[in-house]
């Protein structure tokens, strides 16, 4: 190869490479705003996904005694709190009104309406207390539900809209209260103790 041609080629190659680098740099500079926007969007989507998947779907890990806000009544003996905790009224069993694949039982809608009226009077703020067993096999919290000194569990039984379940593990004092309320409803032939509707 001619020394002059060789020298010209060696100078031409770096100049072409520099030109290519400049061209590539310009290409990315022109698209920098778009890339920043895209990266920002990906970060926002990722953070939203992570925060959503880390939220408990079934409520808090620990529910403490005290005041709580009620979101809605599920049925006569089950409610959903504002923090997504599901609460089952301890020591009672109300007729079913929303159980999947089951018919609505007699007095079930009345038990639900009674519970809703109770929460309306309490402005959907109630006090929960617990006994020894805090959750059932469905991860619902087992609680006694209070508005001032009135206990919903006891009032449902007294109105004849729920049975007292004295075989459940909870305090003897509460069992005596529920048994007395049930006997009162039975004597007065209220609700489930009447001949029918």
99 and 19 share a domain?
no
Q: In terms of DSSP H, where are the helices of 58-171? A: 108-121, 152-158
- 49 belongs to a structural domain: yes
156 and 87 share a domain?
yes
Q: In terms of DSSP H, where are the helices of 31-151? A: 32-54, 108-121
- 28 belongs to a structural domain: yes
pLDDT digits (tens, 9 = 90+) for 20-69: 777 777 776 776 666 676 777 777 776 766 655 544 445 566 889 999 99
Q: What is the pTM of this model?
A: 0.67
118 and 174 share a domain?
yes
Which two tokens mark 79?
């409610």
- 59 belongs to a structural domain: no
- The CATH number covering residue 151 comes to 2.40.50.90
139 and 170 share a domain?
yes
- 179 belongs to a structural domain: yes
- Catalytic positions: 88, 96, 140
Please count the helices (runs of H) and the strands (runs of E) in the chain. 5, 8
34 and 87 share a domain?
no
- 61 belongs to a structural domain: no
pLDDT digits (tens, 9 = 90+) for 147-171: 999 999 999 999 999 999 999 889 9
Q: How do strand 92-93 and strand 163-164 relate by DSSP bridges?
A: antiparallel
123 and 168 share a domain?
yes
Which two tokens mark 94?
């109300």
**What are residue 164's DSSP bridge partners?**
92
- 177 belongs to a structural domain: yes
Could you give the number of structural domains in the chain? 2
Report the distance separating Cα 69 and Cα 66, nearest Å. Answer: 10
User: Which residue segment(s) compose the domain that 97 sits in?
Assistant: 66-193
């Amino acid at each position: 190869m001619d020394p002059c041609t060789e020298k010209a080629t060696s100078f031409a190659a770096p100049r072409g490479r520099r030109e290519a680098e400049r061209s590539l740099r310009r290409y990315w500079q022109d698209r920098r705003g778009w890339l920043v926007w895209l990266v920002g969007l990906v970060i926002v989507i990722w953070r939203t996904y992570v925060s959503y998947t880390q939220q408990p779907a079934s409520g808090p890990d620990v529910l403490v005694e005290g005041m709580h806000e009620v979101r809605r009544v599920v049925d006569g003996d089950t409610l959903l709190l504002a923090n997504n905790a599901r609460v089952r009224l301890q020591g009672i069993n109300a007729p079913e009104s929303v159980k999947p694949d089951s018919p609505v039982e007699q007095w079930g809608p009345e038990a639900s309406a009674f519970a809703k009226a109770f929460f309306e009077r309490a402005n959907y703020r109630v006090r929960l207390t617990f006994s020894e067993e805090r959750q059932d096999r469905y991860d619902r919290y087992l609680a006694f539900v209070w508005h001032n000194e009135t206990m919903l569990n006891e009032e449902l039984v007294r109105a004849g809209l729920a049975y007292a379940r004295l075989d459940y593990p909870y305090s003897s004092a509460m069992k005596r209260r529920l048994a007395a309320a049930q006997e009162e409803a039975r004597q007065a032939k209220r609700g489930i103790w009447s001949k029918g509707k």
